Amino acid sequence: MSENVAAVKQIERLRDEINQHNYYYHVLDEPHIPDVEYDRLYQQLQALEQQNPDLITADSPTQRVGAAPLSSFAEVSHEIPMLSLSNAFQAQDVTAFDQRICQRLNTEQACYTAELKMDGLAVSLLYESGLLVRAATRGDGTSGEDVTANVRTISSIPLKLRGDDYPQRLEVRGEVYMSKQGFHDLNQRQTELGAKLFANPRNAAAGSLRQLDPAITASRPLSIYCYGIGIIEGAELPESHYQMLQSLRAWGLRISDETARLAGLQACLDYYQAVMRRRSQLPYEIDGVVYKLDDYAQQQEMGFISRAPRWAIAYKFPPEEELTRVENIDVQVGRTGALTPVARLEAVKVGGVIVTNATLHNQQELERKDVRIGDTVVVRRAGDVIPEVVRVILERRPEHTEPYQIPKTCPICGSAAVREENQAALRCSGGLVCPAQRIQAILHFASRKAMDIEGLGEKLVEQLVERGLVNRLPDLYRLSLEQLAAMERMGEKSAQNLIDALQKSRSTRFNRFIYALGIREVGEATALSLTNHFKSLSRLQQASEEELLEVEDVGPVVAANIAAFFRQSENVSVLQSLVDEVGIHWPEVAGSDQTDASLAGQTFVLTGTLESFSREQAKQLLLARGARVSGSVSAKTSYLVAGENAGSKYDKAEKLGVTILSEQQLLQLLAE
């Protein structure tokens, strides 16, 4: 036997043995050998690979660290969107969720998979032929950042799947997190180095995964729990989510031992209570539990809303509360002109985060709670995110305090503050005349989920507005290197980086551009719905309120806001300038040059499994011909397209007398 053949066999044996021990340690949490023996095996492999560098492969355990630092993260478009989950904060919310499922599926009891809701960063792992080829963050759900080099450094993520029955192409979704002990140890090291401390394990995990130098990520105590899949090709999908998780474990991926299969509502509520009792003893942070309808066929039947699946819900834990004192109350002016009273608090740690400010929402809420300067209050992080004042401890109220009144004029520009009909909030009437609205509008436009202009922070925007360099959004793109370099805390390099970021932002996506405009109550999901429906800016601008109401997730208030936005000449002027003069552009949305409107005015509902194409592909074909595609059957439904295993939608369509098409009839209709 030649030396090279012997080396190949020895290297393969060591890799298999090390991977096996990684599986025992990270996935099963059952180490079979002491650390010192593992280190010996690793060193043997390392030495052999150094002697035979031509035998080193990307999936070798020794190749977890070693990639060169990146200059930036590339964007990754998710082939299947990574949706968020609807939240439940009370048992009634979970009960209502279960009732909706049972009614729609026409069953007395549904079966769920229950999982812990990890407090980390969602990622997508793509395996091809069993090898990890790409990892990406969730981002906005449609696209995220390529963090492959960093993810490869995380020991609990296999570079190669186990066994030989894994799919040819598999996208695994999971949550990268940092344990409580790991977080404590990291902050201890940060203290010793005199470096900035992390606020909580979630921030530490997110910051560690998004390092441009993979070596830094490798030094951080990150781990993962996998909770689902996206793409699966070259293998049959199991019948249930629980079975899928067991398959992931068998292929070497880490899933939580706390995952359980539950029958019925009461079992779900009992699981929540049991986990909440043990929450503080868990080695990692969680902020709730997640229930998913277990049967995949039933998941398909339930379908999705634009933001989340109908078959899953996150039951959040009650927010943590603390006592603190209100040192002052002042008013912030938001980008839409809303005047919001804010309590300035004596610093207090709530849910692992230092809180110094809390919203008081509006004058009505302020009066209802009767919050005054000097009061001792209970503060909490609602949904574990937004700090708010819950109530006043009246027994501790100092003498001679006065009720607080929001001023009748804008504290920034002095314009009159007005209250619109049926609105609780006062709003500044100054519009773009008001620097606060201008500043917030620019910051929103530049934000990560909008135009993503890196380096355009609040302090810089304030300077640009105060010096009169930016009065309208297009002015951002007319800034010179000299003007930017002259700003406080800006050098020539920072100025050039911002110029480059502005140039890069000229190429965007249509839904991001819509969201960046800051139309009241038009968030990311609504912007995406508007994009899919209207396809082009001109069609959106010309849409009437009636046409806007045809868009999924757009109600009367949002439709009125959108129509009002495009009626204002200043807004239209800004849009024209951004597109025609600045040159902001985006790839053409599929169907934007639509000339075939043969199905305009017709509403379709899709149910069951189609053979010729997926339901999403069928939806896009119908939209391209002017049809509207809805998720539920009603008297307004024109056609129900029924594939295999059509469920309750079929029965409802029959009762309502809706025309039911087979897949073949749909193909004929599209061909015509």
Higher-pLDDT residue of 447, 16: 447
Q: How far apart are CA 122 and CA 225, in angstroms?
A: 10
592 falls in which pLDDT band (50, 70, 90)? very low
**Residue 484's pLDDT is what?**
94
Query: What pLDDT is recorded for position 146?
Result: 93
For the segment 165-210, what is each residue's pLDDT rounded down to a tens digit?
Answer: 999 999 999 999 999 999 989 988 888 888 777 877 888 898 899 8
- Pick from 569, 627, 570, 573: nearest CA to 601: 627
All residues at 6 or more sequence positions from 644 whose CB lies less than 8 Å from its CB, including other chains: 608, 609, 610, 611
Q: Catalytic residue positions?
A: 117
More confident residue, 416 or 482: 482
- What is the predicted pLDDT for the residue at 10? 84
Helix (H) or strand (E) run with residue 528 in it: helix 524-534
The pLDDT of residue 591 is above 60: no
Helices (H), 64-105: 91-105
**pLDDT tens sequence across 506-543:** 999 898 999 999 888 888 778 888 988 898 998 999 99
- Cα torsion 617, 620, 625, 630 to 10°: value is 110
- For the residues of 122-174, what is the DSSP string, one character each? EEEEEEETTEEEEEEE-TTSSEEEB-HHHHTT-TTS-SB-SSS-S-SEEEEEE
- Contact call for residues 105 and 294 (beta carbons, < 8 A): no
Region 331-339 average pLDDT: 85
**Alpha-carbon radius of gyration of the chain:** 28
How confident is the model over 375-392, as a mean pLDDT? 79
Whole-number pLDDT of residue 1: 45
Could you tell me the pLDDT band of residue 320, with boundaries at 50, 70 and 90?
Answer: confident
CA 410/CA 426 separation, integer angstroms: 9
Strands 603-607 and 628-630: what pairing? parallel
- Residues 401 and 483: their CA atoms lie apart, in Å, by 48
Q: How many C-beta atoms surround the C-beta of residue 257 within 10 A?
A: 11
Per the prediction, the chain carries an average pLDDT of: 86
Q: What is the pLDDT of residue 68?
A: 60
Residue range 256-293, pLDDT digits in tens: 999 999 999 999 999 999 998 888 889 998 989 999 99
Average pLDDT rounded to a whole number, residues 367-384:
84
291, 112 contact by CB (below 8 A): yes
* pLDDT over 50 at 594, yes or no: no
Phi-psi region of 291 (alpha: psi -120 to 50; beta: other; left: phi over 0): beta
Task: Please give the pLDDT value at position 596.
Answer: 55
Q: According to the model, what pLDDT value does residue 66 have?
A: 53
Measured CA to CA in angstroms, residue 402 lies from 327, 371, 372, 417 at distances of: 13, 9, 7, 22
What pLDDT digit, counting tens, does each position of 35-64 carry?
Answer: 667 767 877 887 888 888 888 887 787 776
Q: What is the pLDDT of residues 111-135, one digit of tens each?
A: 999 999 998 899 999 999 999 999 9
**Mean pLDDT along residues 18-42:** 70
Share of the chain above pLDDT 90, in %: 43
**Structure tokens that stand for 272 in this block:** 């929540």
The first and second tokens of residue 323, run together, are 């006592």
> For residue 620, what are its two tokens?
């896009």
- Of 324, 313, 339, 335, the C-alpha closest to 381 is 324
